[in-house]
C-alpha cells in the first residue's frame, strides 16, 4: 500500500514539475522610453500648476519619481545623452563623445550618426544617410532583441536623426526621423530598402502642411505666463521673421524652403511626432505579441526652441503645457492599444540647459564666455613660440585639444612634456578654466557611475583629444545674447527628470542621487535580461 502511494506521488510530481519549468517569466507587453530634449528638471514643477491631470502629473503621482537624477559626464548634449540613456554608460565606453567631434584618423569633424555607406530611404537628399556604426556599446534595445532571438520588436522615432538612431541600437525593426526639407519621416538603408506602407501612408497625410497653415497661439490666458520675463524681450530670437518675438507666431513670413525646418521650433513639431508615434503603435502592433516590445520616442522640438528662446520664455512654457497634453494623449493611446498596467514607461531628458545667459548677466549673476577664437589663437601662438611649429595643434573642439602626433615625432618632441606645458599655460592664462586634464592622467583612470570626474567619464581613450578642460559655472565657450545652450558639468545641465510608470512600478518619490546611466540597468533588471555590454549603472527600483 505504501509503495502504491509512493508511485502515485511520483506520478503527480511528474505532471507538475514540467509545468513549473514551462512557465514564462512575467514581463510587460511593451517598454516605452520617452526622452524630452533639453528638459530641465524644474520644468516639472515650475509649470506644474498649468498641467492637466493626465500627463506629467499622472506620471508623477502614479509612478516612481526620481527627483535628483543627474548626468555624470561632459559633454552634455543630444548625441551623448541618448547614447548614455540607452547604453547605461558614458562616452568613455560608448564612444559618442559629442554631436560632432574630431576624428583623428579622418582628420576632420564627423557627425555622430552620419554614415556615407548608407543611403536615404524616403528622401532624395542626405538626410537619411545615418546609422549607429559609431556606437561602441550595445543598448537596452539591443539586449532585448538578443534575449528573445529577435522576436521582440524595437521601433525608435524622433524629430532629430541622432535621437532616433542611437536609442534604436544596432538592429531595431525600424528607426525614423523628420526630414526638414519635406516634412516627411525617413530612414536609411541601414534599416530597410523601402519605407513600410504605414510610414508612406502617414507621409501622404501631409500633417506638416496642415500645421504650417496654422498660427501658434497661447494655450492659456496671457496673465498665466507672467511668471516669465515679458513676452517681447531682447533675450529671444525672431525665429519667424516677424519683426518681434511675442505671440502669436505664424509661418507666413518664411520662404517655402524654411517652413518645414522652422516647424521643428514649435509645439507642432512635437504634435507631428506624437501622431507618428500613435500610427507606429497601431501599425507595428507593438505590445501585442508574445514577447516584450520596445518603443523609443524622443521629443526634439523642445531643444530647438530652448536654443532660440532660452529657459524663461512664454514659448518654452507654452510648449510644455502643450507637451503635457500630448503625453496625456499618448498615455491614453497606450492604455487603449496595450492595456493599462501592461507596459513600462520611463520619461527623462538627454540634458538640461543653462538659464538664458544674457538674462543672468543682467541680473548680476556670474556668467560669461571663453571666446573660442581668442583662446585658439592664444594657445596656438604659445605652441609656436615654445616649439617652433604652427601645426603642433591639430584641432580644438568640444573643450578638447588634439595634438598633431606626426609633427611631434618629426620634431623629436616629448608629447608628455608638450601636453603638460600647454596645460600649465592654460592654467596661468585663462582664469575661466576650472578642471584641466592631460591624456597622461586620464589614461590612468577608468569611468565610474558617480560624478567624481565628469571629464574622465566623457573622455574616450581612442577618440578624445590630448587635453580636456572645463569652464566656470555659467560660462560658455562663446557667450550668447539670445537663447541658451548646454554642454557642461553643472547642475543646470545635468539635473533632469526621471519617472518610471506602469507595470510593477511602485508609487513613490525618491530624492536620493541616481544617474542617467541607471535607466538601462533598471529596465534590464525589470525584464530579467542582461544589461547593455558596457553598462555601469545599477537598478534603482527595488
Cell, residue 489 = 558639468
Instruction: Please list the residues that pair with 121 across neighbouring strands.
Output: 187
Q: Angle at CA 523, nearest 5°, toward 48 and 339?
A: 70
Q: Which residue in 76, 78, 489, 517 is the catalytic one?
A: 78
Which one, of 122, 132, 294, 146, lies nearest residue 201 by Cα? 122
Q: How many CB atoms lie within 10 A of CB 447?
A: 24
Peptide bond into 248 cis (omega under 30): yes
152 with 81: CB under 8 angstroms? no
What's the 3-state SS for 225-249? HCCCCCCCCCCCCCCCCCCCCCCCE
Instruction: Write phi, then psi, for 224 (nearest 5 degrees).
Output: -70, -20
C-alpha dihedral sign at 372, 378, 381, 386: negative
**Rounded alpha-carbon distances, angstroms, from residue 415 to 429, 441, 467:** 21, 13, 11
Catalytic status, residue 292:
no
Question: Can you tell me whether residue 156 is helix, strand or coil?
Answer: strand
Instruction: Please list the residues that pair with 65 across neighbouring strands.
Output: 499, 509
CA distance 128 to 124: 9
Q: How many CB atoms lie within 10 A of CB 6?
A: 9
Cα torsion 308, 357, 435, 399 to 10°: value is 30
Give the DSSP letter string of 316-355. HHHHHHHHHHHHHHHHHHHHHHT-TTSEEEEEE-S-----
Residues 6 or more apart whose CB falls under 8 angstroms from that of 516 comprise 69, 70, 71, 72, 81, 84, 85, 348, 496, 498
In this structure, the chain runs to a length of 542
CA distance 17 to 461: 51
208 with 159: CB under 8 angstroms? no
**Terminal CA-to-CA distance of the chain, rounded, Å?**
50
The residue written with cell numbers 498596467 in the block is: 341
Active site residues per annotation? 78
Amino acid at each position: 500500500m505504501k509503495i502504491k502511494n509512493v508511485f502515485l506521488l511520483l506520478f503527480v510530481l511528474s505532471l507538475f514539475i514540467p509545468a513549473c519549468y514551462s512557465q514564462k517569466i512575467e514581463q510587460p507587453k511593451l517598454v516605452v522610453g520617452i526622452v524630452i530634449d533639453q528638459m530641465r528638471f524644474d520644468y516639472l514643477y515650475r509649470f506644474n500648476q498649468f498641467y492637466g491631470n493626465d500627463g506629467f502629473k499622472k506620471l508623477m503621482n502614479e509612478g516612481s519619481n526620481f527627483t535628483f537624477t543627474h548626468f555624470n559626464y561632459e559633454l552634455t548634449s543630444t548625441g551623448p545623452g541618448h547614447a548614455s540613456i540607452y547604453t547605461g554608460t558614458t562616452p568613455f565606453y560608448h564612444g559618442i563623445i559629442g554631436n560632432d567631434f574630431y576624428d583623428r584618423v579622418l582628420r576632420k569633424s564627423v557627425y555622430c550618426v552620419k554614415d556615407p555607406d548608407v543611403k536615404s530611404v524616403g528622401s532624395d537628399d542626405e538626410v537619411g544617410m545615418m546609422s549607429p556604426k559609431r556606437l561602441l556599446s550595445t543598448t537596452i534595445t539591443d539586449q532585448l532583441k538578443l534575449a528573445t532571438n529577435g522576436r521582440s520588436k524595437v521601433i525608435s522615432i524622433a524629430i532629430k536623426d541622432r535621437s532616433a538612431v542611437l536609442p534604436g541600437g544596432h538592429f531595431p525593426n525600424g528607426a525614423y526621423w523628420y526630414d526638414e526639407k519635406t516634412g516627411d519621416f525617413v530612414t536609411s538603408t541601414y534599416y530597410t530598402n523601402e519605407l513600410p506602407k504605414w510610414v508612406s501612408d502617414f507621409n501622404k497625410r501631409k500633417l506638416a502642411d496642415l500645421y504650417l497653415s496654422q498660427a501658434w497661439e497661447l494655450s492659456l490666458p496671457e496673465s498665466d505666463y507672467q511668471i516669465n520675463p515679458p513676452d517681447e524681450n531682447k533675450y529671444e530670437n525672431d525665429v519667424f521673421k516677424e519683426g518681434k518675438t511675442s505671440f502669436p507666431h505664424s509661418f507666413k513670413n518664411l520662404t517655402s524652403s524654411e517652413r518645414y525646418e522652422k516647424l521643428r521650433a514649435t509645439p507642432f513639431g512635437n504634435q507631428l511626432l506624437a501622431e507618428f508615434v500613435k500610427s507606429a503603435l497601431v501599425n507595428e502592433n507593438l505590445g501585442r505579441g508574445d514577447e516584450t516590445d520596445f518603443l523609443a520616442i524622443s521629443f526634439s522640438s523642445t531643444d530647438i526652441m530652448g536654443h532660440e528662446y532660452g529657459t524663461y520664455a512664454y514659448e518654452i512654457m507654452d510648449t510644455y503645457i502643450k507637451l503635457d497634453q500630448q503625453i496625456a494623449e499618448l498615455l491614453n493611446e497606450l492604455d487603449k492599444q496595450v492595456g493599462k498596467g501592461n507596459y513600462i514607461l520611463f520619461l527623462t531628458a538627454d540634458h538640461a540647459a543653462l538659464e538664458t545667459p544674457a538674462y543672468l548677466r543682467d541680473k548680476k549673476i556670474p556668467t560669461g564666455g571663453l571666446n573660442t577664437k581668442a583662446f585658439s589663437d592664444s594657445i596656438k601662438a604659445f605652441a609656436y613660440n615654445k616649439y617652433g611649429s604652427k601645426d603642433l595643434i591639430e584641432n580644438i573642439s568640444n573643450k578638447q585639444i588634439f595634438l598633431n602626433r606626426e609633427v611631434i615625432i618629426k620634431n623629436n618632441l616629448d608629447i608628455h612634456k608638450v601636453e603638460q606645458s600647454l596645460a600649465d599655460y592654460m592654467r596661468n592664462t585663462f582664469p575661466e578654466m576650472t578642471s584641466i586634464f592631460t591624456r597622461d592622467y586620464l589614461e590612468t583612470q577608468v569611468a565610474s557611475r558617480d560624478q567624481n570626474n565628469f571629464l574622465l567619464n566623457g573622455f574616450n581613450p581612442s577618440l578624445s583629444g590630448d587635453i580636456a578642460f572645463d569652464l566656470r559655472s555659467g560660462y560658455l565657450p562663446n557667450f550668447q545674447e539670445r537663447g541658451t545652450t548646454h554642454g557642461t558639468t553643472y547642475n543646470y545641465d545635468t539635473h533632469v527628470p526621471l519617472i518610471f510608470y506602469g507595470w510593477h512600478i511602485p508609487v513613490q518619490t525618491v530624492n536620493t542621487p541616481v544617474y542617467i546611466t541607471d535607466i538601462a540597468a533598471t529596465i534590464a533588471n525589470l525584464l530579467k535580461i542582461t544589461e547593455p555590454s558596457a553598462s555601469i549603472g545599477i537598478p534603482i527600483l527595488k
